[in-house]
Structure 1
């Protein structure tokens, strides 16, 4: 019952506060892309604030986050990490599904921010457009974040990765940083959220230039280290 009450309180605080934030996004866009990006980062930090002080969720970060732009491939168990990665990486570009980009106002703001929209049922032309958008983001000096499993998975699930991330990796020629995330244990897809710790374990960067058969198993293993318990050690170095 306590978990449900805290979940209701979080939803009221975050979604209630998000309404004016999202509606202000077109106004912020009038001041330029930099202002809109700052506003989006502010929104993600508001999400972190609500998660910490209303829901009782803390974020623990381990590993090294590169200081130069990179392609990040993250484990995906909850919507939580789509917000937190923006806050941690200071306004990277996120690859997101077309359905989210079609949401009124928010979808417009997401496209103006620079989100890369992928149509999972789209043609090869849609895939090529995604690649062009990603290359433009990289050329502007921004990192790119993709969740290569394609959708949220339950804790313990380790599905095969979607092939699109390999195309991005080969096209962008950027270091690829896998990120293991265990958000699903306290932030389930269905049901009440629970207080606890969510770990973001940044793994060593993979250099550009590997082929698909080389890079896929490396990324799959790296984003799943928390699923097999390999990263639950004393190397946790920063509490957000």
Structure 2
């Protein structure tokens, strides 16, 4: 085994031991912190994402390159999804946004209750009309309260080069919140792939130009699909890509 590969595996083990080990008391205390109100609890969650960012930078050697900018006011952010990395980083960068979360996560005992206290927006993939209306009401309320709303419209993590179709919930959410939509392209799978070893390196998060509210469904879906995939070029060689070591 090459020295660089050995060091990379060692860094990954140290990162996982420190981050996941340190996350245990944070997660166990989450329901308790949720009792103190949403403002304090959201600060607790953002603190967890800062801990994640510290571990990623200092233990794993993963750093961000931010391109473009987020809006000053509330907006709907539609992000590419390739890794667990961006689920933490976007909560930190956007300062506790309302995140659209799959219903199965909200059903986890205790954790689901805490997530509701934080203010997640639950999406039911069965697509029942009542569930979709509830999701839209919650998203509209979050936007009216001045919170950004984040959705991963592909619904699941993918590899570099993959561009799955968007889930149906995006168009309804965009119509319901009546806010500008900011697409977010990223390439986190180059350093933290869905399957395979983690690597040190740089993750680019590119905030695209805001898309105004009120556009037709076909246009908004086409623009979002195009914009979130601008950093999604497949690697030159096999695998998920990313720097070694």
Map 1:122-133 to 2 at 5 A.
Answer: 122-133=127-138
- 1:173 maps to what in 2? 178
Contact 2:137 2:176 in 1 (8 A): no
- 2:192 maps to what in 1? 187
TM-superposed deviation, 1:181: 0.8
Point out where structure 1 has 5 or more consecutive residues left out of the alignment.
230-240
How many Å separate the matches in 2 of 1:188 and 1:68? 32
Residues 128-171 of structure 1 deviation map (CA, whole Å, 9 limit, x = unaligned): 21112111211211010001111111101112211211110011
Structure 1 segments (4+ residues) deviating >4 Å: none
2:75 equivalent to 1:73: no
Task: State the secondary structure of the residue aligned to 1:58.
Answer: strand
2:99 equivalent to 1:94: yes
Task: State the secondary structure of the residue aligned to 2:100.
Answer: strand
Report the TM-score when normalising by structure 2. Answer: 0.89
TM-superposed deviation, 1:106: 2.8
How many Å separate the matches in 1 of 2:88 and 2:105? 13
How many Å separate the matches in 1 of 2:17 and 2:114? 22
Task: State the secondary structure of the residue aligned to 2:162.
Answer: coil
Contact 1:22 1:105 in 2 (8 A): no
Report the TM-score when normalising by structure 1. Answer: 0.91
Residues 3-57 of structure 1 deviation map (CA, whole Å, 9 limit, x = unaligned): 2222221111111111111122222222211000000000011111111111110
- 1:138 maps to what in 2? 143
Point out where structure 2 has 5 or more consecutive residues left out of the alignment.
1-5, 235-245
- Over aligned residues, Cα RMSD in angstroms? 1.4
- 2:45 maps to what in 1? 40
